[in-house]
């Protein structure tokens, strides 16, 4: 569990170079812009170690920069068992990554594992699709979904911090 009253949020995709670092960047940006800070620790990881220590995909970085967010300093890493203890919310970008995390965690930690898009119940998609093999427009669509889910996630984090309603910006 997170220490010092903070909530730990881990965002997870397969390689940790597209979706999860984009989601981490958006969440960090939105948290930094809050009028009243929330006690939240944010990180991202991948279920596979294909890109260990790599910077986010250049297309992900470009899409983020177009929205005023820099993620070039993030580095890919693989999710490890200790993450299951350190984070209160472990949010997968799709069902395959959620299943991987569920198998890794077992039943005892199932309440910490969710789909990221669960925080956007009105969205047409229940997953954040992997834009890696597509064009630049895929990264923009992913960012739209990430921003939509982050709105609901911030509301949830505000409730956890004892602040009902959407957090002030």
Q: Which residues are catalytic?
A: 13, 19, 130
- For the chain, what is the radius of gyration of the CA atoms? 15
**What is d(CA 29, CA 23) in angstroms, rounded to the nearest whole number?**
10
* CA dist list (Å): 49 to 25, 45, 54, 167: 20, 9, 10, 35
CA-nearest of 43, 39, 37, 41 to 5 is 39
**What is d(CA 52, CA 15) in angstroms, rounded to the nearest whole number?**
8
């Amino acid at each position: 569990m997170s220490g010092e009253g903070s909530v730990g949020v881990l965002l997870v995709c397969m390689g940790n170079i597209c979706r999860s670092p984009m989601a981490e960047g958006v969440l960090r940006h939105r948290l930094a812009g809050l009028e009243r800070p929330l006690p939240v620790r944010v990180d991202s990881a991948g279920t596979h170690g294909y890109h260990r220590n790599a910077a986010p995909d250049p297309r992900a970085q470009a899409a983020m920069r177009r929205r005023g967010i820099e993620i070039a300093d993030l580095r890919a890493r693989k999710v490890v068992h200790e993450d299951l203890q350190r984070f209160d919310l472990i949010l997968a970008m799709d069902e395959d990554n959620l299943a991987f995390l569920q198998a890794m965690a077992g039943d005892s930690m199932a309440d910490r594992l969710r789909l990221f898009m669960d925080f956007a119940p009105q969205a047409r998609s229940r997953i954040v699709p992997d834009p890696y093999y597509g064009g630049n427009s895929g990264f923009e669509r992913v960012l739209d979904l990430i921003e939509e889910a982050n709105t609901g996630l911030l509301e949830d984090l505000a409730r956890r911090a004892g602040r009902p309603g959407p957090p002030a910006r």
